[in-house]
């Protein structure tokens, strides 16, 4: 698998560079890569900002198709078929639902190197209400052929993902939020596509999380468990497809069970993928912490909405305790 060393430039501190929204880290990384790679095309759907940040510096490598997501993916498929590296920019719910047919047939069906980079994923656009929640996209895109699916946990990991996947031969779906989120990675580290990152050692239970707030909450839950005398391993499962079956196998064998945490419905997302994996090779107890079925007719910010939906450190810790105590 591809890997990359993530480091801030010497003239800029780590927190200063990465305490920004993940989408901002993605955009500046894309501009930096385009300076040395004329194959890179930024294909926009009126997302706002890319026309100046990318388009003014690379007018011959920038296309704005407007608010027409099906066309966006069709154009990207054509560019990729011509030997270019297009980055499709849109909102998660639009890419996975509105333009699903083009994503399935034009991009994934032809195994083309289109990078679909989505924002406003999960509940990160919660202030717009349930029409802008994107809670089913992982379930949709991970079933598509050849598709690599990545959910960075912060801005630093977002930059690493973009750099590590420049020459990925097939299609890629990168799931980002909207606003700034807490930094999980507090310094340089080696990012490896397809390999879960161990954030904390533990032996009683394993917490497997994907995405910014789920990873933060898993670490907070591990602290709650430690105060009660339980040791929780924490894995940042940034790559949903291909899933790190080796790390999951170790977790199933070496700890009492697994708790998954995600900003996604419990059906079809990270929890479902983990259950599929361990059921086939290393059966163990699994508890899934995610958004329940049904619209959340509640307006709040991302973390507040997740907590309202039952995704919070206390629910994670309670699920972990049910596993750990059940094995005592």
Biggest CA-to-CA distance, the chain: 64
Cα four-point dihedral sign 18, 24, 25, 28: negative
Look at residue 246 in the predicted model and tell me its pLDDT.
97
| pTM value surpassing 0.85 | yes
In this predicted structure, what is the pLDDT of residue 129?
A: 85
Spatial CA neighbour of 153 closest among 238, 26, 27: 238
The C-alpha atoms of residue 183 and residue 8 are separated, in whole angstroms, by: 14
Alpha-carbon gap, residue 285 to 321, rounded angstroms: 12
CATH number assigned to the domain comprising residue 229: 3.40.50.920
Q: Residue 269 gets which letter from DSSP?
A: S
In order, the DSSP letters of 49-95 are: SHHHHTTTT-GGGEEE--S-HHHHHHHHHHHHHTT-EEEEEEEHHII
The domain tally of the chain equals: 2
Residue 229 lies in a domain: yes
Q: Which domain holds residue 318?
A: 194-326
Residues 134 and 92 in one domain: yes
Let me know if 31 is exposed, middle or buried by CB neighbors in 10 A (0-12, 13-18, 19+). middle
Same domain for 262 and 164? no
Report yes or no on 187 lying in a domain. Answer: no
84 plus 114 within the same structural domain: yes
Tens digit of each residue's pLDDT (9 = 90 or more) over 32-60: 999 999 999 999 999 999 999 999 999 99
Q: Is 316 within a domain?
A: yes
Is 266 within the bounds of a domain? Answer: yes
Q: At 32, which CATH number?
A: 3.40.50.970
Q: Give yes or no: residues 201 and 165 share one domain.
A: no
- Residues 102 and 201 placed together within one structural domain of the fold: no
């Amino acid at each position: 698998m591809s890997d990359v060393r993530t480091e801030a430039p010497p003239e800029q501190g780590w927190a200063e560079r990465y305490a920004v929204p993940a989408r901002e880290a993605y955009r500046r990384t894309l501009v930096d890569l385009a300076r040395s790679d004329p194959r890179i095309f930024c294909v926009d759907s009126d997302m706002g900002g890319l026309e100046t940040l990318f388009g003014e510096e690379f007018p011959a490598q920038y296309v704005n198709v407007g608010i027409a997501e099906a066309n966006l993916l069709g154009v990207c498929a054509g560019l990729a078929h011509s030997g270019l590296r297009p980055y499709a920019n849109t909102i998660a719910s639009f890419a996975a639902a509105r333009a699903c047919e083009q994503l399935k047939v034009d991009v994934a069906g032809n195994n083309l190197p289109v990078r679909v980079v989505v924002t406003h994923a999960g509940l990160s656009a919660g202030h717009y209400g349930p029409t802008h929640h994107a809670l089913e996209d992982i379930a949709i895109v991970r079933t598509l052929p050849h598709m690599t699916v990545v959910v960075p946990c912060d801005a630093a990991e977002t930059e690493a993902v973009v750099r590590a996947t420049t020459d990925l031969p097939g299609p890629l779906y990168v799931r980002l939020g909207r606003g700034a989120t807490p930094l999980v990675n507090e310094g340089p580290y080696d990012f490896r596509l397809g390999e879960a990152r161990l954030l904390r050692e533990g032996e009683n239970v394993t917490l497997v999380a994907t995405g910014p707030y789920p990873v933060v909450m898993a670490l907070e839950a591990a602290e709650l468990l430690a105060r009660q005398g339980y040791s929780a391993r924490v894995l940042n499962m940034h790559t949903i497809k291909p899933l790190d079956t080796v790390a999951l196998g170790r977790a199933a064998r070496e700890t009492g069970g697994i708790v998954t945490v995600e900003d996604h419905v419990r059906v079809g997302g990270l929890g479902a993928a983990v259950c599929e994996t361990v059921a086939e090779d290393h059966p163990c107890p699994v508890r899934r912490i995610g958004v329940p079925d049904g619209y959340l007719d509640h307006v709040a910010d991302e973390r507040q909405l997740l907590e309202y939906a039952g995704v919070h450190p206390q629910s994670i810790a309670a699920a972990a305790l049910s596993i750990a105590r059940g094995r005592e």
